Amino acid sequence: MAKLFGEYLVERNLATVEQLLDALIEQLRSVPSTAEVIYELNLMKKVDLLSIFAHQQYTGSDFRSSAQSLGLWGNQLAEKVTAHLQNLRRPLGEILVGRGHISLDGLTAALDSYVEWCSSLGKNLKPTSAVPKPVQLPQISDKSTSAISQAISGEESLDPILVKEFVDVYESQIRPSIQELIKAMGSTAGTKSQLREYLNGALSEFIGLRAAAQFLGAKRCETIAAETVQSLEKIVKSEKLLNQRLLLEILKISSHIIDSLSEILKDFNSDSHLDGDSNMIDLIERLSKLNRSLGTEEGRRLT
């Protein structure tokens, strides 16, 4: 069964329960409420916000549930709010380091070990999403089923036929190629020319994955693939960044995230059910941080 990164740290005696709770509380305090984000970014009319607050008072529901009940919550709004919250949310590891509960080197080693452990679970790893399993619907027409599924989830489902094709191609072609590259790089120290071959191979796979996700409309998969392509292209342009450990970390994190998104696609015909999965969010933040740091002084230290 998958564990969150914090749980993994406690289990390996790299942090205590008290230290983890201390960091989690600080992490929560750093994130504003959904209502605050909507108000700050002016994502909704003020009169609609007041209607939601009034509904909350009468029903005792949370903000999102009240907004959904009033027909004021949709996929586009959810994506904007989630994206803003993820930018503001401080990574758990950063807080643990800042509070002196773990060293930066210790955190990096723990993350490497955690990614290895997650990868070893393979297809048995299921994302710890807070989203319930799909409701079993009666046998009715495809259009009616699609409409009901969308109403239940509050989000637009993707074409199930295209989802199946995407997942089949990923599992039968793209993932094996990426895993083969990871295995080859992890087994021995490569020369510069070998690393170039690995890099070009990985870039080709993720460019294909990005295009397939874009065609499908799987925005999360497309974003992760695009982020990975951007990172690999930065390494292509800089000989200083051509580093085996860095390449391995990027590929392991990216492939693990896409693996989980692939499972979510199969379960929900959508890849947007990651809001409650701290495990994946932490890995996504790590990937984004790596991408941002490439070419900077921090990036040079990574190599």
Domains in the chain: boundaries: 5-98, 151-302
- Tens of pLDDT, residues 244-258: 888 999 999 999 889
Q: Which amino acid type is present at position 103?
A: S
Top-level class of domain 151-302: mainly alpha
DSSP 239: G
CA 64/CA 281 separation, integer angstroms: 20
| Tokens 């941080």, located at residue | 289
User: What's the length of the chain?
Assistant: 303
Q: Which of 5-19, 95-109, 115-129 has the lowest mean pLDDT?
A: 115-129
CA 288/CA 300 separation, integer angstroms: 16
- Tens of pLDDT, residues 263-301: 888 887 787 765 556 677 778 888 888 888 886 644 444
Mean pLDDT for the stretch of residues 99-111: 84
Give pLDDT, residue 275: 52
Specify whether the CB–CB gap between 254 and 206 falls below 8 A. yes
| Tokens 């930018």, located at residue | 87
220 Cβ contact list (under 8 Å, min separation 6)? 261, 271, 272, 274
| Average pLDDT value over all residues in the chain | 77
Mean pLDDT for the stretch of residues 142-163: 52
Mean pLDDT for the stretch of residues 101-113: 83
- Which pTM was predicted? 0.52
